[in-house]
Amino acid sequence: MHEQLLKEMAKQTSVSDEDRALCLRYFEWLQVPKNTLLEEEGYIPKHIYFVLSGYVRLFHYDEDGNENTLHFNCPPGFITSYHHLINQTRSDENVEAVTDCSLLRITKADLDVMVSQSPAMKDYSIFVLQRSMIYNETRSKELATLTAEQRYLKLIDHYPDMIQHLPLQYIASFLGMNAKSLSRIRRQLIK
């Protein structure tokens, strides 16, 4: 189960036998069914999740009680409410397995231990956080500058499997529109 994580790490840094042993020791494997809430708003997030298979989303509720999907993660990749995990504050976000998922997870305390003991893990953690920051900047810019249709086309171009595995209302929310608007765009593209 840990091989996928170790392969991802090896793309960015040299992974020693000691690093491998730390990953096996601190990253816990779990299998969860779809619709499992992994982290809940109102609580301090406990884990960072590495998605081996399936789809996980980060979402929050707006003032009207509507779900707003902020991020999807499909394999391989990490997901959590980073801001709240790092600062150890109560989150206003939820992390949910949208499909059946195979995951590795690690607590912040265990990650801190790994980073202090492993230069490779420290380098890889910095890489993951940098990639997350770039993703969030790019996503903010796209939401502000691209039309709804352009955002949808970009999604199906970069993540075609997502369209087949995720509910339409989640995709629409992620793209910054309602499900009716997304359905209209999809119908227009078929014509």
The ranges assigned to domains in the chain are 3-144, 146-191
- pLDDT score recorded for residue 183: 92
Structural tokens at position 173 = 């929310």
pLDDT at 164: 86
CA-atom Rg of the chain in angstroms: 17
* Confidence (pTM): 0.91
| 15 neighbors 9 (Cβ within 8 angstroms) | yes
pLDDT of residue 1: 85
Per DSSP, 149 falls in state H
pLDDT at 98: 95
**With contact defined as beta carbons under 8 Å apart, do 59 and 94 qualify?**
yes
Question: Are the beta carbons of 170 and 156 closer than 8 angstroms?
Answer: no
104's tokens: 């590795």
CATH, domain 3-144, list 3.30.70.270, 3.40.50.150, 3.65.10.10, 2.60.120.10: 2.60.120.10
| Of 11, 5, 8, 10, the residue nearest 23 (C-alpha) | 5
pLDDT computed for residue 190 by the predictor: 82
Q: Provide the pLDDT for residue 163.
A: 86
From the list 17, 21, 20, the residue with the least C-alpha distance to 6 is 20
Query: Mean pLDDT, consecutive 10-residue segments, the chain of 191 residues?
Result: 93 94 96 97 96 96 92 87 93 96 96 95 92 90 94 92 90 93 90 71
Q: How far apart are CA 46 and CA 80, in angstroms?
A: 9
28: which 2 tokens?
């816990």
